[in-house]
Structure 1
């Protein structure tokens, strides 16, 4: 055994009291030696290590402190991190804790003695293990906030809302590291009416959200004058509608550059154009700006951007329920905003009428790049109000599609246009199409050209669904798509509880904000995970975890139907032994975390929260497409 020896001379104190005594004042010196064996290390884990050493000394009472010092740099001393042994004895046996995984540490044993320098052993080094996947998942704590929030719906309880009362969200990652979410004026029992319009909240982790309140306190001053300016030009009389009767819908917030954020919003005017048997009044898209969204009161209104445009001149004598003959070509609601890969700025908007339109705007002002003419005339007269991107049915003025959200993914080279389909209470579902050019043509996964010919957009991204042990969710659409800057993409929307749940009054009016992870298929299509995001550790999924029972959902479109799960079983020998795909085989692409089935379906995997479990925990989920169907699944515990 190798020892380090340090001689130490202990000098007694000379006590002086009156006359000196020859017996009490003679110097008393005793040489003390201390040696410490080279430490040995054992039981090294991701965050701990046990170290042993032995002190040898001829004067044990001279030792004041003893233990180990350690650091990630060589030659540690007691000025670095230390752990001390408080009990008597000269055998050191201590555990270093709170270490970092996969990190090399250097350690020495030490002893301090009376009136002397510390004595050190020789140095040893060791490396902690990789972070334990099991412990990381075992330590996971799932979100606990309730989906049925009806007991905290009052405005006075808004600090507890978290993601309660979310409708048509828009999400932006700001410079301060917070995600900011803004929304349509909608809440259970209209509780939001006490606090203004276009309410906001923020989060650092996408799970816990701080409620901020309204960003707009009252109807902008420009709205009624602008409405009457257009009415006068149309030969209609001025109106003075009740300011409380306007709708505040679907804001879209984007970071334009450092220190500048824009919010485009919809103001829907009440009433009819000219009384009975005429079409409904118009909507406006306006815009606000803010230098710092942490200042929720700092949104400055920049005024009017665009309104509904009609290609039918002044022939607005259409009954408000005559959907086929809708007066407007474009409906100025549901704005989305994008800066394309060439640096041009576009407003994407539209709903229900002729489809989704794109309009280039000025980068500096955020307003239309060109001066807009009167919002009525022939089709040629209103071309500057927008260019068609997608339509559900060419020539149909009642599309049952709305809420466009557009993004660009540089990893795939495509623009993706997400659209909400159908009525919002239950049938609401999300579709997506893509194009290599912002202005199209956009095609679905089945190859349908939705720009030039129109058609049903596929794939279905979200749809009413139900896993076992739950009421499930409906009305899942009008989404926000955003990323964290590190390649991770997310989908946010409202989700509604189904109708007529026993014990919940007006259960379909319960609107919980949903945030879900997006994965990308091998062919570059975004799939949205079936379970909501809950910050489960991103531990790699191993093949042996995949064998067992899954809750499988065929999420193919079915108007207003809540698609329920059924059991599908994967065996360890790569077969599907039960369920709708019985007889198929499967293989695992571990590097991309995808299962490829012999029936041609590829699904993307993700660890997510099992929201239906009691208590909630983590599980594995999947989502995938064919050219006509969408599939969701969740591993059973």
Structure 2
């Protein structure tokens, strides 16, 4: 569970109870306790075409032995949470929520960054915000005074989920600040301090720089929006654990940002509570185009999404909005469910920036409805522990090639390698994205490794694969089945039917389901190696992931 107002406490649990512990724990990231299902001998396989040599990534997924601050130069994509990615010069820059295994980042600033030229090897850069901005306390206590509430001197602050976009010649980082003190007594959020009120509001602020390669160059520009409530001064909460009818309508966290083809600028915000809102931004200032007033609902933006109509306990968050000029759609990506294990990514789309957004079934989800397709879900290939907590994504594009990429954190499952804290090991994933013929994104089953691109032929596909059809199951990892591709176009093993390849579009059809092919790096193999993979969707929006063994 996370991100509503009480969510400030739940998130604290997720990022302290799951993250604050000893950072040096033993573990093995290549674990498979299952025995392989007996299968018939396949036809002779054709080797995947490979270059004479390729040095793919070898870094361990279980980084607990090097998670301390002293080892930060070795982290690569270790300790990534809620990433956002932007390109500047030769480098991609990634920023994130303040979170790390063992709280290694504590005391070293906020909104930590790293950079990479190839999206595989990442250099840790440190904090873009050295200290808490002074405006947060000033804004909060000004608002509290308008409700005749005493000021809070000692704020309990969380630094979450930034988004970075290039706007003209500057880079803007919209960031989330949560205040985890109770509204009533102003004390830090805990069961012992509970006074039958909700915790305080969150804020979205903004920083700018012309050169993200210099961490100290980020200049804070103050508040953009804050959490808003349509309940006036009724911030009472009947129970610390059983009352989910949140005080705030929109939670000012998890910003996303898009510039329309017409040149309009829009920021999206909100999580749990009543859903997601879009507010138009002044290009010059980076602040709302029209005056924002926390007491005037007409200024809060346009409501674009709700998972459950009438509920303030949505189980959805982390909006990421992009525009794909090739399809003509705006895409709204969402993180569903709790971040520890069940986290999964969904996507819907619209021809207009403010909606209505619709899923693959054509359903308008503005006022309620589960979104399909699923983009990512907890899963496990053989010879590895698998990944859970796999969502809250960034989408970014290589503007030179037009290629799209998906990035998010994923977590090791609980008790991986006997480590009781392994679920707090958060590895950053970067994956290639392809688009189906009807304009839906599918994500590579394997993380990006910058492997050489080679033509994939029928001969390469013949042989034995692992395939996962990802049904939505809360807290349940989806596991693979053996599928055998025969030369005659039939399927065997644990999946029957037929297959067909379209080399011109790099597409394989599995019993009629369209799947896009990828040259891939087999991260689960020991040693890791080159392979091929495919990713597609069933007609009702369930991912189909597979890799050749």
Q: TM-score range by the shorter chain?
A: 0.7 to 0.9
Q: What does residue 585 of structure 1 align with?
A: 498
Offset of 1:135 from its aligned partner? 7.6
Matched, 1:333 2:253: yes
Asked if structure 2 preserves the Cα contact closer than 8 Å seen for 1:458 and 1:627, the reply is no
Q: What does residue 248 of structure 1 align with?
A: 159
Matched, 1:458 2:372: yes
The whole-number CA distance in structure 1 between the counterparts of 2:545 and 2:365 is 29
Q: What does residue 345 of structure 2 align with?
A: 430
The whole-number CA distance in structure 2 between the counterparts of 1:523 and 1:593 is 15
Provide closer, same or farther for how the CA distance between residues 447 and 172 of structure 1 changes in structure 2, counting only shifts above 3 A.
Answer: same
Asked if structure 1 preserves the Cα contact closer than 8 Å seen for 2:533 and 2:548, the reply is no
The whole-number CA distance in structure 2 between the counterparts of 1:355 and 1:393 is 9
Q: What does residue 71 of structure 2 align with?
A: 157
Offset of 1:388 from its aligned partner? 1.1
Where 1:284 maps in the other structure, the secondary structure is strand
Where 2:107 maps in the other structure, the secondary structure is helix
Q: What does residue 40 of structure 2 align with?
A: none
Where 1:441 maps in the other structure, the secondary structure is coil
Per-residue CA deviations over 1:395-446 (Å, capped at 9, x if unaligned) read 1111010000010000000000100000000000000000011010000001
Q: Which one has the largest radius of gyration?
A: 1
Q: What does residue 170 of structure 2 align with?
A: 260
Q: What does residue 381 of structure 2 align with?
A: 467
The whole-number CA distance in structure 2 between the counterparts of 1:533 and 1:464 is 18
Considering only aligned residues, what root-mean-square deviation do their CA atoms show, in Å?
A: 1.4
Where 1:285 maps in the other structure, the secondary structure is strand
Give ranges in structure 1 of 5+ residues lacking alignment: 1-132
Asked if structure 1 preserves the Cα contact closer than 8 Å seen for 2:320 and 2:395, the reply is yes
Where 2:432 maps in the other structure, the secondary structure is strand
Paired residues for 1:337-356 under 5 Å: 337-356=257-276
Q: What does residue 476 of structure 2 align with?
A: 561
Offset of 1:324 from its aligned partner? 3.8
Offset of 1:142 from its aligned partner? 1.3
Equivalent residue pairs, number: 492
Asked if structure 2 preserves the Cα contact closer than 8 Å seen for 1:459 and 1:627, the reply is no
Provide closer, same or farther for how the CA distance between residues 356 and 382 of structure 1 changes in structure 2, counting only shifts above 3 A.
Answer: same
Deviates more, 1:416-425 or 1:627-636: 627-636
Q: What does residue 207 of structure 2 align with?
A: 288
Offset of 1:505 from its aligned partner? 4.5
- With normalisation by structure 1, the TM-score equals 0.76
Following TM superposition, the consecutive aligned residue runs of length 4 or more in structure 1 with deviations greater than 6 angstroms are: none
The whole-number CA distance in structure 2 between the counterparts of 1:627 and 1:349 is 30
Asked if structure 2 preserves the Cα contact closer than 8 Å seen for 1:550 and 1:633, the reply is no
Offset of 1:595 from its aligned partner? 1.0
Q: What does residue 480 of structure 1 align with?
A: 394
Q: What does residue 413 of structure 2 align with?
A: 498
Where 1:544 maps in the other structure, the secondary structure is helix
Offset of 1:586 from its aligned partner? 1.5
Where 1:192 maps in the other structure, the secondary structure is coil
Q: What does residue 303 of structure 2 align with?
A: 388
Paired residues for 1:180-219 under 5 Å: 180-219=93-132
Per-residue CA deviations over 1:568-595 (Å, capped at 9, x if unaligned) read 1111100112223x1x211111111111
Per-residue CA deviations over 1:65-110 (Å, capped at 9, x if unaligned) read xxxxxxxxxxxxxxxxxxxxxxxxxxxxxxxxxxxxxxxxxxxxxx
Offset of 1:323 from its aligned partner? 4.6
The whole-number CA distance in structure 2 between the counterparts of 1:633 and 1:236 is 53
Per-residue CA deviations over 1:247-273 (Å, capped at 9, x if unaligned) read 00001001112x300000000002111
User: Which one of the candidate residues 193, 196, 221 is aligned to 1:302?
Assistant: 221
Asked if structure 2 preserves the Cα contact closer than 8 Å seen for 1:184 and 1:198, the reply is yes
Offset of 1:207 from its aligned partner? 0.2
Per-residue CA deviations over 1:16-55 (Å, capped at 9, x if unaligned) read xxxxxxxxxxxxxxxxxxxxxxxxxxxxxxxxxxxxxxxx
Higher RCO by CA contacts (8 Å cutoff, separation 6 or greater): 2
- With normalisation by structure 2, the TM-score equals 0.88
Give ranges in structure 2 of 5+ residues lacking alignment: 1-46, 186-194
Per-residue CA deviations over 1:286-345 (Å, capped at 9, x if unaligned) read 000001111111100000111011111111112454554211110000001111111111
The whole-number CA distance in structure 1 between the counterparts of 2:336 and 2:424 is 19
The whole-number CA distance in structure 2 between the counterparts of 1:585 and 1:157 is 50
